A and B are shown apart, each in its own frame.
Chain A
Amino acid sequence: MKNTDRLFGSLELLVLKTLAAGPNHGFGITVHVETVSKGLLHMEEGSLYPALHRLERERLISGEWRQTDNGRRARLYTLTAGGRKRLTENEASWSSVALGIERVLRFV
């Protein structure tokens, strides 16, 4: 995360949010984030995998080896119930943090 990794937990938040739309593999997550942010956010691919494994250890997501549509083997991650709950919490706190920062920046 070039633009956002100064904000704590943003990478995890984006991963959880992306997986909320359906199971996906690491590469799919980077493409999704880039496309949806219209190129504003660019994931640093090397640090995505440690994050995925950390989330899996915390049982927020679960991974499984599958065949992709174009015949490659990839590890697909699915959001668990715990992950869904964590996403809701983090979305709320992120919004308030973002709002707070926005207000500070706007103050002249």
Chain B
Amino acid sequence: MKHAIEWLRRLFHRDSAWQEEIESHLAMRADWHRQQGIEPDAARTRAARDFGSPLRALEAVRAVHWAPWLDALAQDARHGLRVIRRSPAFSLAAVATLAVGIGASTAVFSVVDLLLFRSLPYPRADRLVSLGFSGPIDTSEFNVGNAYLDWRVHQHASTAMTSMYPGGQCDLGEAPPLRVPCIQVEANFLATLGIIPAAGRDFHPEDDRPGAPKVALLSYPVWQSRFGGDPGAVGKTISLDDAPVRIIGFLPRTFEMPQLGEADVLLAEQLDEGVARAPRSTVFLRTFARLKDGATAETARQQMLPLFTDSVRRYVPPQLQREVGLVVRSLRDRQIHDVKLASWLLFGAVLALVALACANVANLMLARAAARRKELAMRAALGAGRGRLARQMFTESLLLSLAGGAAGCVFAWGLLRAVVAMAPQALPRLSQARMDGRVLLFAIAVSLAAALATGLLPAWERLSAAALAGWHSAGSGRSWARPVLVAAQVAISLVLLTGASLLVRSLWKLESESLGFQPRRVVTATFTLNRQRYNSVEKQDAFYSEVSRSSPVFLESADLP
């Protein structure tokens, strides 16, 4: 490793020296022109013109140095291909093993990359946190109206704090209306996230006052499907729940709600302080904040703690006070909260799978060493140095790994499509998973790592002096690599198998667990009723009894509130 870094460093150093040489030539030529009585600027221009393209010259110099190396590489590759073709069964087994390992890890990476590593679509997203109460009511942190109103005024932990109502739906358009997710957000919501509307304007504080005329921002998909992406649609009026609402803008294509919910329409929150402050108020909110520079979620939590304690004392019923806590966590943690561990586990498991595949292939290559000892001994006798032979072997495993990587990418692509088709809701963002450049880079990196892992060990083993001298030593105690590899394989397999069997066991328990009722012949259905036509419980009940009377399928229907 150290060698490789040193080698790379020298490589870059050499390249910059070649550049410097050309620059020094240009400087001297300019000096020379100046001595002939030409202005400094003109002298430099003329020097550049005399020289022609410095880039092309540099390319040519590079070619001089790289050409022999590339020739050797091509020679190694040709020989490697011959070796691979000579034992097709071995090569196929190696490529297939690596393809499974690389494919599985690439598919998983394409999913967990979105969850764990890729930056969220907000400027300086690392500054954004979700904060609020943790409690038995909700798995995610929430806020209550009167506490939020206090926090908003008195907090010093963040530069901006904002809120939204969790969930909400409305009927968009007329005859027939469409039920769409409709989220009410505070006026500073988009500004806090750092999002600027793609067309039109953001909410103004006036829009957010209770009783102000209703205005809306629409999502990019709605803008495209209903208005063909026309920016002139700003200012038009649409019908929301049979009331006219003016469109003030459209959201950018990449916009995402911070809690990953759906939102086709954003409305102003119009939080009524009187209602929120009323005794027994049930205003629940989601709150987000942008931290100050240098602050972390933990320091912000410490700063918020006095305010939180105060809110708990004032607004939380005494019997619940022990059950609530303050949560401040990064937006990423909020989004993947219950799948964070699962993502890391899954990622770790597939990396273990890759390691297993590599150990397998390395073992196969070692096993083949005996068959190739004669060939290597002959090549050594003909004058090939140890380094040359090691490179030759490394090229072989590189070819196998790259073939495995290419097959693995195809496998990963299929796997990803299958998983997304089977369980699109299994993980957040799963439907966004793609085989893009980043994922391909990962696949290439894994392939190269596999080449190193499978190539270096056998090269080391086979190039021992005894092997090169062509001695047919029957001694088995000489080799330490194979027992180590086998031990590693068994260890990794055991871990993976244990994990998998535990998973299957949990699934089995889940399947066989008694639900407390007879689930056979029971189906569930959801109806979306027009809010205006069915605006009372009586009218809704009438609809349901009409359905169960007229339909032969519904033997019994249960109305749950």
Please report A residues at the B interface, Cβ cutoff 8 Å.
25-27, 31, 44-47, 49-50, 53-54, 57, 65, 68, 70, 72-75
CA distance A44 to B54 in the complex (A): 12
The 10 A-B pairs with the shortest beta carbon distances in the complex, nearest first, are A50-B60, A46-B52, A46-B57, A27-B28, A53-B64, A45-B51, A27-B25, A74-B24, A75-B21, A54-B64
Q: List, in ascending order, chain A residues with CB within 8 A of B22's CB.
A: 49
**B53 pairs with A46, CB closer than 8 A:** yes
**B21 pairs with A26, CB closer than 8 A:** yes
**B64 pairs with A57, CB closer than 8 A:** yes
Binary per-residue interface labels of chain B (45-73) against chain A in the complex, 1 for a CB within 8 Å, 0 otherwise: 00000111110110011011100100000
Q: Does B29 contact A (CB under 8 A)?
A: yes
Whole-angstrom distance between the Cβ of A46 and the nearest chain B Cβ: 4
**A75 pairs with B51, CB closer than 8 A:** no
Partner of A70, one of B29, B31, B50, B65: B31
- Specify the main secondary structure of chain A where it touches its partner: helix
Q: List, in ascending order, chain B residues with CB within 8 A of A50's CB.
A: 57, 60-61, 63-64
**A45 pairs with B50, CB closer than 8 A:** yes
**A74 pairs with B57, CB closer than 8 A:** no
Partner of A53, one of B28, B54, B61: B61
**A26 pairs with B63, CB closer than 8 A:** no
CA distance A65 to B31 in the complex (A): 19
If A27-B32, A74-B24 are given as contacts, then 15 extra A-B residue pairs at C-beta distance below 8 Å, sorted by A number, are A27-B29, A45-B51, A46-B52, A46-B56, A47-B60, A49-B60, A50-B60, A57-B65, A72-B24, A72-B27, A72-B31, A73-B24, A74-B21, A74-B28, A75-B17
Please report B residues at the A interface, Cβ cutoff 8 Å.
17-18, 20-22, 24-25, 27-29, 31-32, 50-54, 56-57, 60-61, 63-65, 68
Residue of B nearest to A53 (CB): B64
Q: List, in ascending order, chain B residues with CB within 8 A of A73's CB.
A: 20, 24
**A31 pairs with B24, CB closer than 8 A:** no
Whole-angstrom distance between the Cβ of B57 and the nearest chain A Cβ: 4
Residue of A nearest to B55 (CB): A46
Whole-angstrom distance between the Cβ of B273 and the nearest chain A Cβ: 73
CA distance A20 to B34 in the complex (A): 29
CA distance A27 to B268 in the complex (A): 72
**A46 pairs with B28, CB closer than 8 A:** no
Whole-angstrom distance between the Cβ of A84 and the nearest chain B Cβ: 22
Q: List, in ascending order, chain B residues with CB within 8 A of A70's CB.
A: 31
Q: List, in ascending order, chain A residues with CB within 8 A of B28's CB.
A: 25, 27, 68, 72, 74
**A53 pairs with B24, CB closer than 8 A:** no
Q: List, in ascending order, chain B residues with CB within 8 A of A45's CB.
A: 25, 29, 50-52, 57
Query: Taking A49-B57, A50-B64 as contacts, is the C-beta distance between A44 and B25 under 8 angstroms?
Result: no
Q: List, in ascending order, chain A residues with CB within 8 A of B64's CB.
A: 50, 53-54, 57
**A49 pairs with B20, CB closer than 8 A:** no
Whole-angstrom distance between the Cβ of A81 and the nearest chain B Cβ: 22
CA distance A74 to B32 in the complex (A): 15
**B21 pairs with A46, CB closer than 8 A:** no
27 contacts between A and B (CB under 8 A): A25-B24, A26-B21, A27-B25, A27-B28, A27-B32, A45-B50, A45-B52, A46-B51, A46-B52, A46-B54, A46-B57, A46-B60, A47-B60, A49-B18, A49-B25, A50-B57, A54-B64, A57-B64, A57-B65, A68-B28, A72-B24, A72-B28, A73-B20, A73-B24, A74-B25, A74-B28, A75-B24
Whole-angstrom distance between the Cβ of B471 and the nearest chain A Cβ: 38
Partner of B65, one of A46, A53, A72: A53
CA distance A26 to B32 in the complex (A): 14
